[in-house]
Structure formats: structure tokens, C-alpha cells
Homo-oligomer: A and B are copies of this chain.
Amino acid sequence: MIREKKRIHVTQQGRPSSSGNNLDPWYSSYAARAAGLAASEVRALFAVASRPEVVSLAGGMPYVSALPEDLVTGAMDRVMREQGPTALQYGSGQGVPALREQILDVMALEGISASASDIVVTTGSQHALELFSKLFLDPGDVVISEGPSYVTAMVIFKSYQAEISHVPMDDDGLEPEALRQRIAALKAEGKRIKFLYTIPTFHNPAGVTLAESRRAEILEIAKQNDILVLEDNPYGLLYFDKEPPKALRSLDEDGVVYLGTFSKTLAPGFRVGWALAPHAIREKLILANEAAILCPSSFSQLVISEYLASADWKGQIETFRGVYRERKQTMIAALEEHLPMCTWTDPNGGFYVWLTLPEGLDSKAMLPRAVKELVAYTPGTAFYGDGGGAQNMRLSFCYPTPEQIRVGIRRLANVVNGELDLLQTFGGSGSLPGRASSSNYNAPPPNMS
């Protein structure tokens, strides 16, 4: 029986704890894909790390306090006064037409020309990732992504029983030649590659940006191999100095599905993002969206539409840029001062620095000691599907204040120095207790990812 073959995770031996246990009477009823949804090993630690005395460099929370509340309150009041019954009612599964028109203006800033009819409004761009994956991924399919990659995208891919194949980046982003070779190798193995998931601009977690010179080349490689490109672009407008290259979607409208969001340029609490997709895919995304949630929140959409119509939203993005620019500069300066034995990326936008520890140190094994020293980060292994990243960590500068960042990096330096002392005393990396690190791209809590 095919089904029994697939359900090896519920056999008596070798059950991963993630798929349940004998205390769960419904243990044998879960679908095979449920085994892909497991709590992160670091989840409990993050719960501790959310105490106020801990400086968290782990979260991906935007600094919403930089948004004047009256801009939002004013938009809400107008929406309720002028369109109350519409805001409170079910709406279309594709999203409010006026908002989709305004989203065209947002995407135009990144060189994208499109039709509002090809936009599907989703519950954050996260849900666009989920819907897209539901539409495309059969068990055993392969998704190619940068290595490292966005943790909760990988959780989704895995939940649809896909395999993730990481292609390395350098300071100019995804390496075209490595991509070519990987595709050829996967095809030689008989694998079915469904899409390339990429965050070309201000990558999460790597902080790097795909160079302009590489963009057409990456698209050409995808096209030659009939591979869809899923471009995830939450941070593109949050650059610090010069504008990044135009979005991949601006170069190819047939082979790219583009994901955008208001979570970083406005506020995540509304849960409004979108997908821009070729016609046929857009039609299926709408049906999948309707099946999953009937329609996105009318209220959230109308408030954002009113905000875009009445507030200086470009000026507000400029404000966010200034906040994050200062925090990034503070973090880099603190790293230079306190952690000269490490290396890191220096992003021109976005939320994250990707740090590489000295040889022999393991970021996940080190995390409990860091939390004890009242600083938290996300271990690099969270961002790989294949066990990579043990020597790395993601440091977020988006939410903590500059002063907290300085304190956090000092504390982190204490931890790293302590680890290095231990390493010198006891020798090679294999000999320290608790060093073993395994693949872990299960999700940390959402406000940490």
C-alpha cells in the first residue's frame, strides 16, 4: 500500500518525537506531512530569551514604534465612518481592488510594472508562501534556495514533504555557476525541481544582495531549466544608502512569482501581504486563498488602503530606513570593537547581519550560555535544511535600540571569549560537551523568525 510506505514516520521504531508520541491518542491519524511540522529545539530557550532583561538579537520584529499611531488611528476612523459595513463584511478572495491598485505604486518603486488583476492579497506574504507551496509541491519535489534561507519558508516546504537543496551565496548573493551545477546534478538524480525560492535583496538571514550583474543570469538559468522563480522581497524598500537593484520580477513577468508585504514598511499586526503571479497561477492562488480563509481581512485591507491614500507612506519608509541604518551601523561598530575574531556580512538594507564564529565554535551549543549572559541570537543551523550553519548565527538589529545593541554585542563577546578559552583548554571542537549540532530548520516562535 502506497500510503503505508509513505507513513514510515509512524512505524514503531525510529519515530521522530516531532510526529507525536504514545500519549496522543490520535497519534496514528496524522497525515504523513504532519511529521514535517515540529517545534524547534530552541523554542524553550527563546521563551526564556523573551524576558525583558535579555537583549534579544534573535527576533525579526520591525520597530513599529517608529510609526506615528495617529496615522493608523486616523485611517481606521475614516474607514469605519465611510466604509464601515464593507470593512466588517466578507470580501473578495483576491483582495480589495483599490488596495491592489495601490500595491502597483509600491512595487513600481522596485521597477515592477504589472496589472492589479494579477495581484492576490494574502495574510502576510507568509500565507502566499504557504498557498504557493500547496499548489506546487508534491512529496519528493525539490525546492532550490539559497543556503542559508528563511526559516519559516523551509518549514512550509518541508510540511509539503519537499526536499530543500541549498545553493551557496557570496557577497554578491546566489552564485550562478553553483546554481547551474546544482540543477544539473539534481536532474541527473532524476529529481523534480519545482522552483527556486530566493530572497535576492537584503537576504534573511545572510544580509547580502544579489548583484545587478547576476540578476538576468539567474533568471536565464531558471528559464533554460523550466524552473519557476519565487522572489520573496520583504526588505527591498528598506535600504540604507543606495537603492538596491530592481526586483527580479521587473526583468521577467512570466517566470517569476513575486511576494511583497506591508509587515516591514508599515506594520505586521494587520497581516497583509501579496503575491504577484502570471495569470494562470494567480487564478489558482485565488482559489487556494478562498479555500484556506475565504477572504483576507476586509478591515485590515481598507485601513492600509486608506493609509496609503492619505499618509506620506514614502516618508514613513524613509523614517524606517533611518532607524534601521543607525542600528545596523551601531551593530557593525560594536562587532568591530568586541568581536574581532569573528567575521560578518555588512548589509545595505534589511534587518540582519550573518556572523561567522571562529573555527571550532558551535552557535547552537553556545546559545544556553548566551541566554545565561542575557543575550539571544538565532543559531545558524536554523537556516539550513542540511545541517549547515553550526558556525554561524543571525544577529537582528531591527528591534533593539542602539544602546541595547551595544550591550548585547558586549555580552555576546563575553560568551564567545569564554568559549574560546574552553576550546584552548580542552582542545578541538569535538571534545566539548554539548557540541553536537544537527540540522534544525524547525521554526522558532514567529516573533523570533
A→B interface (CB under 8 Å): 2-3, 5-7, 20-21, 23-27, 29-34, 37-39, 60-62, 64-65, 67, 69, 72-73, 76-77, 80-81, 84-93, 123-124, 126-127, 130, 134-141, 152, 155-156, 159-160, 192, 194-195, 226, 228, 254, 263, 267-271, 278-281, 283-284, 287-288, 290-300, 443, 445-447, 449
Contact = CB atoms under 8 A, between A and B. Distances in A.
Contact of A300 (B30, B37, B297, B445): B297
Given A29-B226, A39-B287, A91-B447, 20 more contacts: A25-B278, A30-B136, A31-B137, A31-B138, A33-B134, A37-B284, A37-B288, A64-B85, A64-B88, A90-B263, A90-B268, A90-B447, A91-B446, A126-B292, A130-B292, A268-B294, A271-B295, A291-B443, A292-B292, A297-B300
A76 B85 contact: no
Nearest to A62: B89
B446 A93 contact: yes
A23 B156 CA distance: 28
> How many copies make up the complex?
2
A69 B25 CA distance: 45
B290 A445 contact: yes
A296 B130 CA distance: 14
A77 B91 CA distance: 24
A267 B89 contact: yes
23 contacts: A2-B2, A3-B138, A25-B254, A25-B278, A26-B228, A27-B280, A31-B134, A31-B137, A33-B134, A34-B135, A38-B287, A61-B90, A64-B85, A67-B88, A69-B80, A123-B293, A124-B294, A126-B293, A127-B293, A156-B291, A269-B298, A290-B446, A297-B300
Summarize A's interface: helix, strand, loop or mixed. helix
B88 A61 contact: no
B23 A280 contact: yes
Contacts of A152: 290-291, 294
A284 B155 CA distance: 13
A89 B268 contact: yes
Contact of A84 (B38, B69, B297): B69
A297 B39 CA distance: 21
A290 B443 contact: yes
Nearest to A157: B291
The 4 closest A-B pairs by CB, nearest first: A24-B280, A88-B267, A294-B446, A269-B298
Contact of A92 (B25, B138, B445): B445
A274 to B, nearest CB: 14
Given A84-B69, A297-B300, A31 B135 contact: yes
A283 B37 CA distance: 10
